[in-house]
Amino acid sequence: MESTGNVENVRGTRVRNDRIFPETRWVSVIIVPFLVAAFVILYLFPDHTQGLFAWGIQPRMSAMMLGAAYIGGAYFFMRVATFARWHWVKVGFLPVTSFATLMGIATILHWDRFNHSYLSFFAWVGLYFTTPFIVFLLWLRNRSTDPGPQTSSDRRVPRLVRLVIGIVGGLTLFTSIVLFLQPGFMISAWPWQLTPLTARVMGALFALTGVGELGIALDVRWSAVRIALQSQMIGIVAIGLAIVFSWNNFHQANPLTWIFIASILFLLIASPLLYIWMETRGKVIDGAA
């Protein structure tokens, strides 16, 4: 019996070695070029999506905001594909699953809006009809290698910080649900012009951020949230620049315009400050600060 117990302990130690499986890395390698290509089209040529992309996106703020998410995602999957440990990147997989699932559903609901003869359309369909399942299964399989926070002497993110991030994530996820389920209502209130399809795409983008922030809030290890936070910061910076280049798209008399801008400015300031603070502080037990 003792021998069997020792074997099981050794097996458990081997399994929870924080390894990223080869298939997880290879899928990440495959995803990155698609995200980079979409970013180039949507962010650098936002006024030409009708001729270059899977569907015509108007106005340019909607195209650039989607492009901003893609460049943040490309960075994340590049880190997964290179030298990351599993627990460094695990936080990002369920947000991507949520985003891709909603994008796939939006594609089905608004099938007639797409450029069905374009190569970019086939890439879009191939991506969003497969990645929700693939990314989720990769997370489900690879999560067994996570050694868990109890085995780590890593810096802990203070409970109050995680609570604030969790509240922001919950509010963001709520906004996502309303955008996706009630696009007509949100079209009338949104800071710039939306269609039913772009409203649901915005819902998917907010789900990406909201689920990501909830994931960050639920893991006490700083090393488990660093890459996810880096990815979000890249996306937020890109959104900030998109606001500047798409300012004429905004309804400046709409109070939500200023709430949206204030939220982006808050994230532009708070996220780097949190990152620098956590990088420079010593190891702190959760709840001690």
Average pLDDT of span 243-267: 97
pLDDT digits (tens, 9 = 90+) for 88-110: 999 999 999 999 999 999 999 99
Instruction: Look at residue 169 and tell me whether its pLDDT is greater than 70.
Output: yes
Instruction: Look at residue 159 and tell me whether its pLDDT is greater than 60.
Output: yes
pLDDT digits (tens, 9 = 90+) for 117-146: 999 999 999 999 999 999 999 999 999 999
Q: What is the DSSP letter of 286?
A: T
pLDDT digits (tens, 9 = 90+) for 23-46: 999 999 999 999 999 999 999 999
pLDDT digits (tens, 9 = 90+) for 182-194: 999 999 999 999 9
Q: What average pLDDT is seen over the chain?
A: 92
Give the pLDDT confidence score for residue 53 in this predicted structure.
96
Read off the pLDDT band of 282 (50, 70, 90).
low
Give the pLDDT confidence score for residue 152 in this predicted structure.
65
Q: Is 287 left (phi over 0), alpha (psi -120 to 50) or beta?
A: left
DSSP string, 107-156: HHHTGGGS-TTSHHHHHHHHHHTTHHHHHHHHHHHHGGG---GGG--PPB
Give the pLDDT confidence score for residue 149 in this predicted structure.
83
pLDDT digits (tens, 9 = 90+) for 194-234: 999 999 999 999 999 999 999 999 999 999 999 999 999 99
Q: Domain ranges in the chain?
A: 20-280
Question: What dihedral angle (degrees, nearest 10) is formed by the CA atoms of 54, 195, 176, 181?
Answer: -110
Instruction: Look at residue 271 and tell me whether its pLDDT is greater than 60.
Output: yes
Read off the pLDDT band of 281 (50, 70, 90).
confident
Residues facing 250 on adjacent strands: 192
